Amino acid sequence: MASYSEIYKELKKNKNLTVRRNEPLSKYTTLRIGGPASLLVIPSNIQGILDMLSITSGVKKYIIGNGSNLLIPDSGIKGTVVRISGGINNFECDGRKIIVGSGMLLPTLIKKTIHLGLSGLEFAAGIPAAVGGATITNAGALGSEFGNLIDYIEIIDRSGTLTKISKRDLKFSYRKCSLKDCIVVSVRLKLKHKKPENIRKKIKDNLLWRRDCQPISVPSAGSVFKNPKDVPAGKLIDMAGLKGLRIGGAEISKKHGNFIINLGDAKESDVSSIIRKVRTVVKEKFRVNLELELIDSHQLTMLS
């Protein structure tokens, strides 16, 4: 197998790729935590992904979007991290249906759909994910989920084959999608026509709700735990008296118990310690096993 230096040199020659060595991943997560990746690759288009797969054959590749729900170790990731956000931003509209590249951020997509008078994405206002990440995690809020809007998904598998998968061949559940071992490159969504002013009003209301309920002005990774059936995770954490718990540079938000915030110098170990503490206390007090919504490096989509 070629060395990372050799692979780096080969990737750098490709005009469809942005490549960096030993790049701190803290720059690419909303929690602002994470050590260096051996290689960070940002494809600008589908051809870039295909070229990258060919050049890095046999090397571990970890796929990330905008890093909005990731906890990366301070030691970083040994391997190639492929960041889809930052490239693959194509957008097409055909009536109520849109095709959007997986690297486009949801805030950007929402602005485009408002202009076209297309409704359905209002629930996602304030979610800083890329379209690909929102697909893989079935991002949701306020009772709505991204998977409900999907018509089909276009993916590239580990062999470099480009495939279109219909909604009927996919399974979406709470913060999950059945897709595995692939890179999402585009998604077709079915939306509804509404007056732009009505869409803007709904989005404004949703953003105000987030501002009032969530710590949006400080680095976080969104909801840390999935909500159990009966009681939201944040309420359980609040009832357990854990709001404001601080370890190192990380703290459970005093505004929302299901958010862990970075006070400026938090480490992955600080966040992990808080997670273990929360799980232990909630289990002891309420007999509830909290399941992570936050994704760590072991859960990332990996291709080789």
Note the pTM of the prediction, 2 decimals: 0.92
What are the C-alpha distances in Å from 263 to residues 155, 220, 247? 37, 9, 10
Q: What is the pLDDT of residues 131-164, one digit of tens each?
A: 999 999 999 999 999 999 999 999 999 889 999 9
CATH class entry, domain 4-83? alpha beta
> Which comes out higher in pLDDT, residue 302 or 195?
195
Q: Which residues are marked as active site?
A: 175, 223, 293
Q: Which residues touch 203 (CB under 8 Å, ≥6 apart)?
A: 110, 114, 122, 125
Strands 36-43 and 77-83: parallel
Q: What is the gyration radius of the CA atoms in the chain, in angstroms?
A: 20
Domain boundaries, the chain: 4-83, 91-197, 216-295
Q: Which residues touch 174 (CB under 8 Å, ≥6 apart)?
A: 138, 140, 226
Other C-beta atoms within 10 Å of 168: how many? 7
Q: What is the pLDDT of residues 32-45, one digit of tens each?
A: 999 999 999 999 99
Nearest CA among 34, 47, 104, 132 for reference residue 74: 34
CA–CA distance, 187 with 119 (Å, rounded to integer): 16
CA–CA distance, 257 with 252 (Å, rounded to integer): 6
The amino acid that residue 117 corresponds to is G
For domain 216-295, the question of CATH label 3.60.20.10 is answered with no
For the segment(s) 91-197, the CATH number from 3.30.70.120, 3.40.640.10, 3.30.465.10, 3.20.20.80 is 3.30.465.10
What is the pLDDT, as a whole number, of residue 12? 95
